[in-house]
Amino acid sequence: MPASSSTLSHLPASATAPARAGSTVGSTPGATVDTALEAPIETAAASAPKPARRAAGVKAASKVPAAENTLRILKLLASRRGPMAASNIATALSLPRSSVYHLLGVMEANGFVLHLHEEQRYGLGISAFELSSAYSRQEPLSRLGRPMLASLVDVVGESAHLAVLHGRDVLYIVEERAKNRPSLVTDVGVRLPSHLTASGRAILAALPKSQVRALYPNAAAFTARHETESPIMKYSALSSHLDQVRQRGYATEHGEVTPGFGSIAAAVTDHVGWPTAAVAVTFLEDKLPADQWPVLAARVQKVANELSVRIHGRPA
């Protein structure tokens, strides 16, 4: 996606890229549902007039606390690396233990949580996995991202794409081509080594370093498409490059995929800060002055952050 020096002339000159991370499990015999499940405890803040509570930043009490607490438990379990004891769930969410046990019992009966009797812990069940699969089938990232990329293309006059991590590769799921710009290899469905692309580098930089190391255990994990000035062909070089990406908040690529073309990308992150995708813009390097790269990067970061918010994520 070539970019003439006039392409970004209408972007704000001041735009700069933001700087760039002991109860026994089971039902309690004879227990009754805690009234806190249906009627939240009144506090001074909660009993205050609604305008005053809003001004104080106090969240209004839910009209369906049982449903909200069920969702809170599911979100908590989804955010942890392993199953949790019911007592720890109650403590983490400041809920009565009896309420937690009753909610977990209903969720277990419906397959949303799994009771690991030997460990006395609860984890996510098959129904939660089915929801995740349904989420993927409905392609929310593509559906939400496509119009946002189209708007970005209209603003910057260059082609944009959305990619996700697939093993050590990035998989392109959306491409919005700018008018009168040449075609690229990043068509929908194409996979490229993540360490070569701006999209992949943006995603890798947002991952824990241990995860990146697991993806690139040795020199055989690295490949190159073309001769470049500073090829990334070993983990130390990749790690150093990703440190730079984290520091400035966006990733770049200089001809590693297609000679003469450069790219700028920023990560899209979920509710725990995990990278789910990356937004990128590609252009002819000789048409975009070096001092315009940060300006374009700020635009790309803005769209990536907006998409993060749309998927209820946490912007970088």
Same domain, 172 and 304: yes
Residues 53 and 152 occupy one common structural domain? no
Which tens digits make up the pLDDT trace of 182-191?
A: 788 888 989 9
Residue 266 to residue 8: CA distance in whole angstroms: 18
- In sequence order, what are the beta bridge partners of 251? 265
For 146-201, what is each residue's pLDDT tens digit? 999 999 999 999 999 999 999 999 999 999 999 888 788 888 989 999 999 999 99
Segment 61-90 shows an average pLDDT of: 92
- Percentage of residues in the chain with pLDDT exceeding 70? 79
The encoded tokens of residue 266 equal: 């920023």
Last residue of a domain, one of 66, 87, 119: 119
pTM: 0.65
Does residue 108 lie within any of the structural domains? yes
Q: Which of 58, 84, 119 is the last residue of a domain?
A: 119
- What tokens appear for 181 in the block? 């710009």
**Of 162, 263, 273, residue with least CA distance to 207:** 273
Q: Are residues 148 and 289 in the same domain?
A: yes
How far apart, in whole angstroms, are the C-alpha atoms of residue 175 and residue 172? 7
* Number of domains composing the chain: 2
Q: Do 55 and 192 lie in a common domain?
A: no
**Domain match, 146 and 259 both:** yes
For residue 252, being part of any structural domain is answered with yes
**Residue 190 included in any domain:** yes
Distance CA 285, CA 264 (A): 11
Q: Does the residue 256 lie in any domain?
A: yes
Q: What is the pLDDT of residues 216-262, one digit of tens each?
A: 999 999 988 877 767 899 999 999 999 999 999 999 999 999 999 99
- Give a yes or no: residue 9 inside a domain: no
Domain-embedded: residue 298? yes
Q: Which residue has the higher pLDDT, 58 or 67?
A: 67
Is 268 within 8 Å of 276 (Cβ atoms)? yes
pLDDT at 59: 59
Of 87, 119, 151, the one marking the end of a domain is 119
Q: Does residue 195 belong to any structural domain of this protein?
A: yes
In sequence order, the β-bridge partners of residue 121 are 116
Residue 57, domain extent: 35-119
